[in-house]
């Protein structure tokens, strides 16, 4: 039991993909928060947050925007550079959000578990973005309900979904069943990492799923 616990707390991609409970997520990201931007985003050539931000901005997304699974704020920072504002952020990890707060990107940051519901009124945001949250060991298609709920009518949602997770977790079925609530759905496959990445996941891809709330 001790070895398993320690393994889950080791801050690396394999253990992030192996998370099983919200408590596992909180523990792992507490250990990873301080070094995440350097040893994962920079050293592994992580690109997904940039893809999400660019898709949202280039499709006319406007603020206020909620960054779901904001982590250390790399997606919010990329989006801020492109213009949309103000940006709020939420994440299950308070430690990651403390790092995000140092980027001076967000109007507000709050800790929450999307699967338990966000402390946000219906239709609060003109846009929602999320990078790296809908992936193995993290959030499945049931999390889409909250994204749709907090988005105002006509608002734009742009999120990444790990391609392997999309196929195995039922995202296609969920999006199909949500057609009465969303429109203009598009899926664009992108690389998660640049060509300098190494390791088992260096060629992994994700879909940028984008839609508007009807």
Map 48-106 to HEC letters.
Answer: HHHHHHHHHHHCCCCCCEEEECCCCCHHHHHHHHHCCCCEEEEECCHHHHHHHHCCCCC
Please tell me the distance from the alpha carbon of residue 78 to that of residue 49, in angstroms, as a whole number. 7
Q: Which two tokens stand for residue 28?
A: 């792992």
Domains of the chain: 45-213 (3.40.50.150)
Per-residue pLDDT of 42-81, as tens digits, reads: 778 889 999 999 999 999 999 999 999 999 999 999 999 9
Per-residue pLDDT of 132-170, as tens digits, reads: 889 755 588 999 999 999 999 999 999 999 998 887 889
């Amino acid at each position: 039991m001790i070895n398993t616990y320690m393994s889950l707390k080791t801050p690396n991609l394999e253990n992030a993909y192996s998370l099983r409970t919200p408590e596992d997520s909180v523990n792992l990201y507490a250990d990873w928060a301080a070094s995440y931007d350097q040893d994962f985003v920079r050293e592994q050539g992580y690109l997904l947050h940039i893809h999400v931000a660019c898709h949202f901005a280039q499709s006319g997304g406007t603020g206020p925007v909620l960054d779901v699974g904001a982590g250390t704020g790399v997606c919010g920072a990329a989006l801020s550079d492109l213009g949309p504002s103000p940006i709020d952020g939420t994440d299950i990890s308070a430690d990651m959000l403390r790092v995000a707060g140092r980027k001076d990107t967000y109007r507000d940051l709050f800790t929450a578990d999307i699967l338990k519901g966000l402390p946000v009124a219906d239709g609060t945001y003109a846009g929602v973005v999320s990078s790296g949250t809908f992936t193995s060991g993290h959030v499945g298609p049931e999390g889409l309900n909250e994204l749709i709920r907090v988005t105002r009518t006509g608002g734009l949602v742009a999120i990444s979904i790990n391609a392997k997770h999309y196929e195995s977790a039922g995202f296609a079925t969920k999006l199909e069943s949500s057609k009465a609530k969303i429109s203009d759905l598009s899926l664009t496959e992108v690389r998660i990492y640049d060509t300098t990445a190494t390791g088992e996941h260096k060629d992994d891809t994700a879909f940028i799923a984008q839609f508007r709330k009807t």
